[in-house]
Amino acid sequence: MHQIRRVLIVLIWTCLPFAASAQTFPSELWHEGKVVLLEDIVVRGEIKYDLENNLVQVNVGNTIQTYSARKILFFEIFDQIAKIYRTFYALPYSAQTNYEAPVLFEVIYEGNLTLLCREYIMQENLPQMGYYTRNNVFTRQRLAFNYYFLKKNSKIKQYTMKKKDLFEVMQVHQSNIKQYIKKNKLRYDRREDLAQITAFYNELSGSRNLPD
């Protein structure tokens, strides 16, 4: 596997709970960026990504070029909504079988222990509050994430968002991690807290990461 560049990207999404018709998600927009192919070819332009199908489209001079994860090393975008740079790598992954295929993951923190994620759009039903609408519900869509851990010379493991699973991944420094979480009042299921916990684990492991 190609060495992932050292990055620290902590995204704090502030999507308000309004109806999907009034909401735009990052995967629905074109973002300035570049795609680096396995042949070490760099393609620059406006990028739209599709994590569900592991595809990336690049608009180069009004010509759309489509690349699957099998052809991509990584791609970078400047997110039009979050106003930050984001980096995605195509990494071998198998969810249920022994067969691994390239899958696109966003890199949140990289070191001896790397934190990855994949976003998706979740649909949920919420009750409508009000005198005339107390028994009604409305449907909305919101951005959600699945998180994964990757240790060097190991396979990608999905994180269940449970502290038992977290301590299993970080069992080498479990005692220190527990104290750190308690002292800083961190959560096991919040994006920015997971990045902070992972960074601390890497410090304990002697793997300090610097901003890209």
pLDDT tens for 15-43 read 333 333 347 899 999 999 999 999 999 99
The domain locations on the chain are 25-204
Q: What is the pLDDT of residues 165-205, one digit of tens each?
A: 999 999 999 999 999 999 999 999 999 999 999 999 999 98
In order of 9, 67, 77, 94, 159, the CA distances from 166 in angstroms are 20, 34, 29, 20, 7
Encoding tokens for residue 40? 């070490």
Q: List, in sequence order, the alpha helices (H) in the chain.
A: 163-169, 174-184, 191-204
Q: Which pLDDT score is estimated for 51? A: 97
Contacts of 16 (CB under 8 A, 6+ apart): none
